[in-house]
Structure 1
Amino acid sequence: MELTNAEEELMQIIWKKEKAFINDLVDAYSEPKPAITTIATLLKRMQDKNFVGYVQMGRSREYFAKVTKKSYFSKHMNGLIKSFFNNSTSQFASFFTQETNMSEAELKELRNLIDEKIKEK
């Protein structure tokens, strides 16, 4: 299950904060800040999707991520590779290196990462 853009923006805040009350989440947005009711609606939808949980503390709820950023991003990237690159990571890598205007230093760093992965296998 995927997050909408608004949910993903809120999820980024939750990942960064790790635990937060609704007022903390609203405060983390830049101006104009969304209404508390908007954030509450997003949180409810994200709970229904099992991305967010909470601990009841008196009359307040402290929210936390139930899915790691790495796990979400990994599934998201695998979906993109499957949908747009015929499930070919090499087609994705070719596109990524050609279309992102990587510097020579960044390309060398990427090559080193790939070389390390090859050694591990």
Structure 2
Amino acid sequence: MSISNAEWEIMRVVWAKGRTTSNEILDILSQKTDWTSSTVKTLLRRLVDKGYLATEKVGKSFVYSALLTESDSINAQADGLFSKFCQRKHVAILEHLLEQTLMTEADIDQLQALLLSKKTEAVEQVPCNCTPGQCNCQEHVHILEEVTANGN
């Protein structure tokens, strides 16, 4: 299931606090949004319905906690993004992300170590994972030519 941008704002507060109430979320997010209590409660209800948040009644309030880790959620979002593009374009996306990302020397060292470990798994050419007609890689050029020649 996907999480809307507004729901991400809520989830970020829940991950940061661990356990929180709608009033705490509203207080924090009032610094960047003009949401009402009703808006926050609607978003919380959606996140509970989607299975991202647990709720517990404590006195007159409800306390919310995440059922998914922030890391797992970020990874799922990244996987979803990358699944939309040809595998052969993934490195270009990573290059763009690296160019735009502020990093410490430790971050760079960690990425360099990961890249070195990936060398043992390196392939000669990344296979295209697209349906013919969705990209222009060489794997599909002859298929597109055949389809066009046959008038299909």
Unpaired runs of 5+ residues, structure 2, are 121-152
TM-score by length of 1: 0.79
> Which residue identity lines up with residue 7 of structure 1 in the other structure?
E
Give the ranges of 4+ consecutive aligned residues of structure 1 lying more than 6 Å apart after TM superposition. Answer: none
> Which residue identity lines up with residue 17 of structure 1 in the other structure?
K
Residue in 2 that maps onto 1:38 = 39
Percentage identity across paired residues of the two chains: 25
Question: Following the alignment from structure 1 to structure 2, what is the Cα–Cα distance between the partners of residues 107 and 20?
Answer: 35
Query: For the structure 1 residues 28 and 102, does the alpha-carbon distance in structure 2 shift closer, same or farther, using more than 3 Å as the test?
Result: closer
Question: Following the alignment from structure 1 to structure 2, what is the Cα–Cα distance between the partners of residues 108 and 9?
Answer: 31
Q: For 1:67-106, what aligned pairs fall within 5 Å after superposition? A: 67-84=68-85, 86-88=86-88, 89-97=90-98, 99-100=99-100
3-state DSSP of counterpart to 1:3: coil
Question: Following the alignment from structure 1 to structure 2, what is the Cα–Cα distance between the partners of residues 102 and 8?
Answer: 22
**Per-residue displacement from partner, 1:62-118 (whole Å, max 9, x unpaired)?**
11111111111101101111113x135434323334x42767x56555223322566
> Which residue identity lines up with residue 34 of structure 1 in the other structure?
W
Query: For the structure 1 residues 83 and 38, does the alpha-carbon distance in structure 2 shift closer, same or farther, using more than 3 Å as the test?
Result: same
Residue in 2 that maps onto 1:47 = 48
Q: For 1:3-14, what aligned pairs fall within 5 Å after superposition? A: 3-14=3-14
Question: Following the alignment from structure 1 to structure 2, what is the Cα–Cα distance between the partners of residues 54 and 17?
Answer: 14
The 8 Å contact of residues 54 and 63 in structure 1, kept in 2 or not, is answered as yes
Query: For the structure 1 residues 112 and 28, does the alpha-carbon distance in structure 2 shift closer, same or farther, using more than 3 Å as the test?
Result: same
Question: Following the alignment from structure 2 to structure 1, what is the Cα–Cα distance between the partners of residues 101 and 65?
Answer: 36
3-state DSSP of counterpart to 1:61: strand
3-state DSSP of counterpart to 2:64: strand
Question: Following the alignment from structure 2 to structure 1, what is the Cα–Cα distance between the partners of residues 101 and 45?
Answer: 40
> Which residue identity lines up with residue 55 of structure 1 in the other structure?
E
Query: For the structure 1 residues 95 and 54, does the alpha-carbon distance in structure 2 shift closer, same or farther, using more than 3 Å as the test?
Result: same
Quote the RMSD (CA, aligned, Å).
Answer: 2.7
RCO comparison, higher one (Cα < 8 Å, 6+): 1
The 8 Å contact of residues 27 and 33 in structure 1, kept in 2 or not, is answered as no
The 8 Å contact of residues 51 and 67 in structure 1, kept in 2 or not, is answered as yes
